[in-house]
């Protein structure tokens, strides 16, 4: 059966028309048995740029159920999340699901393997704990096991000391070199003051949380089209866990104010500002993060880029429904530029050529 899809982008009157042939976009030809999207607004997909499919949402994080991870990936597709950048975990469930689960049952996924930290520099018994002696070997291994990403924990609070940096700038630079040798990118978790600038200086590809990125960091990060994934919903949840009056909570609230100020400037500087869920809400809820970015003062067009197109372009993908490319799209009943909350309610999802409603 020939399915024809009208793909009209937000804010546009016209659009492109494509047929789905063998799971791929094709120029329309002949008569279609089914025509979709004539009244819809299309995006190439929602993108969660900080997912953890292996992470139980709102449950014991040490839970280790592979089938649940597969279920979360499936749930993401149903919600229109067609690309996810999984930033690693304590196991390799996401790597396994990329290899085992058919494309239409999961988003397209890039993923880090086991997260890298140092002793005392993350949750106990969770990450690969590197020492200066095992650093290079650990990063190489991480790049080998991952699907395109190596994840580092850049800073972590120590009792009585506040946040401490896990890696110095030379190590970060070396991590970028080693990862690049196998075509991988480096993502760094940072919620404190010192690590963002070190990471930007060292060429790290993606700053996760990045609450204390500075104005001075935006120019070099933007010049190399680096990524920043602020994860506002996640950070707010950590504030609640710590208590807004605790020293940690106060620091994060200060960081969130910095995020509020810097997001529009980051986009202006050419930084790929991206929406990511982390572990408070699942990848299927990344539209909530885009709405939260808007509530933080980010103009709707920029939030829309952050949860869709920029995730594609930042990772070297096209967004133009080009003939020959795998057919992926999400259709919405209204224009998200008018009301971004419509992103939570796709009317139709096309993943790997299959129409899922």
Nearest distance from C-beta of residue 52 to Zn ion, angstroms: 6
Q: Which of these segments, 18-26, 68-76, 253-261, 274-282, binds Zn ion (CB under 5 A)?
A: 274-282
Class of residue 4 by CB neighbours under 10 A (exposed 0-12, middle 13-18, buried 19+): buried
Nearest distance from C-beta of residue 95 to Zn ion, angstroms: 16
Question: Given the complex with Zn ion, which of 189 and 351 has the nearer CB atom?
Answer: 189
Question: Given the complex with Zn ion, which of 148 and 336 has the nearer CB atom?
Answer: 148
Nearest distance from C-beta of residue 191 to Zn ion, angstroms: 11
Question: CA-to-CA distance for 233 and 286, rounded, in angstroms?
Answer: 10
Site map 331..350 versus Zn ion, x via CB under 5 A: --------------------
DSSP letters for 146-191: SBEEEEEE-EEEETTTEEEESS-HHHHHHHHHHHHHTT-EEEEEE-
Q: How many helices (H) and strands (E) does the chain have?
A: 11, 20
Q: Which of these segments, 106-114, 273-281, 288-296, 321-329, binds Zn ion (CB under 5 A)?
A: 273-281
Question: Given the complex with Zn ion, which of 61 and 66 has the nearer CB atom?
Answer: 61
Q: Say how many C-beta atoms besides its own lie within 10 A of residue 13's C-beta.
A: 6
Question: Given the complex with Zn ion, which of 48 and 278 has the nearer CB atom?
Answer: 278
Nearest distance from C-beta of residue 55 to Zn ion, angstroms: 8
Q: Which of these segments, 93-101, 128-136, 220-228, 278-286, binds Zn ion (CB under 5 A)?
A: 278-286
C-alpha count within 13 angstroms, C-beta hemisphere, residue 108: 19
Question: Given the complex with Zn ion, which of 123 and 216 has the nearer CB atom?
Answer: 123
Q: Is 21 left (phi over 0), alpha (psi -120 to 50) or beta?
A: beta
Q: Of 253, 242, 259, 283, which Cα lies nearest the Cα of 48? A: 283
Assess 278 for contact with Zn ion (CB under 5 A).
yes
Class of residue 237 by CB neighbours under 10 A (exposed 0-12, middle 13-18, buried 19+): middle
Size of the site for Zn ion (CB under 5 A): 1
Question: Given the complex with Zn ion, which of 129 and 278 has the nearer CB atom?
Answer: 278
Assess 86 for contact with Zn ion (CB under 5 A).
no
Q: Of 126, 58, 48, 60, which Cα lies nearest the Cα of 87? A: 48
Assess 155 for contact with Zn ion (CB under 5 A).
no
User: Where does this chain bind Zn ion (CB under 5 A)?
Assistant: 278
């Amino acid at each position: 059966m020939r399915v024809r899809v009208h793909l009209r982008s937000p804010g546009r009157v016209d659009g492109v028309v494509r047929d789905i042939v063998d799971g791929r976009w094709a120029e329309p030809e002949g008569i279609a048995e089914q025509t979709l999207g004539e009244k819809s607004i299309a995006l190439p997909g929602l993108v969660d740029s900080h997912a953890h499919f292996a992470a139980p949402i709102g449950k014991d994080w040490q839970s280790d159920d592979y089938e649940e991870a597969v279920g979360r990936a499936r749930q993401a597709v149903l919600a229109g999340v067609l690309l996810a950048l999984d930033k690693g975990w304590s196991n390799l469930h996401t790597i396994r699901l990329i290899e085992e689960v058919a494309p239409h049952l999961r988003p397209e996924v890039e993923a880090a393997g086991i997260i890298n930290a140092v002793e005392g520099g993350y949750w106990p018994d969770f990450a690969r704990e590197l020492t200066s002696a095992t650093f290079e070997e650990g990063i190489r291994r991480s790049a080998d096991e991952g699907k395109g990403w190596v994840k580092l924990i850049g800073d972590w609070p120590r009792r009585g000391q506040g946040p401490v940096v896990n890696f110095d700038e030379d190590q970060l630079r070396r991590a970028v070199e080693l990862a690049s040798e196998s075509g991988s990118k480096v993502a760094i978790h940072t919620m404190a003051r010192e690590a963002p600038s070190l990471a930007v200086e060292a060429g790290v590809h993606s700053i996760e949380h990045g609450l204390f990125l500075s104005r001075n960091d935006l120019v070099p990060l933007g010049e190399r089209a680096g990524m920043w994934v602020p994860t506002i919903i996640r950070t707010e949840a950590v504030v609640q866990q710590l208590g807004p009056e605790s020293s940690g909570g106060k620091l994060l609230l200060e960081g969130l104010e910095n995020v509020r100020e810097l997001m529009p400037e980051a986009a202006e500087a050419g930084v790929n500002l991206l929406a990511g869920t982390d572990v408070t809400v699942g990848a299927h809820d990344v539209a909530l993060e885009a709405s939260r970015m808007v509530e933080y003062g980010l103009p709707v067009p920029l939030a829309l880029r952050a949860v869709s197109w920029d995730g594609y372009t930042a990772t070297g993908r096209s967004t133009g429904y080009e003939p020959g490319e795998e057919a992926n799209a999400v259709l919405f009943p209204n224009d998200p530029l008018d009301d971004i909350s419509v992103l939570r309610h796709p009317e139709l999802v096309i993943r790997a050529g299959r129409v899922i409603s």
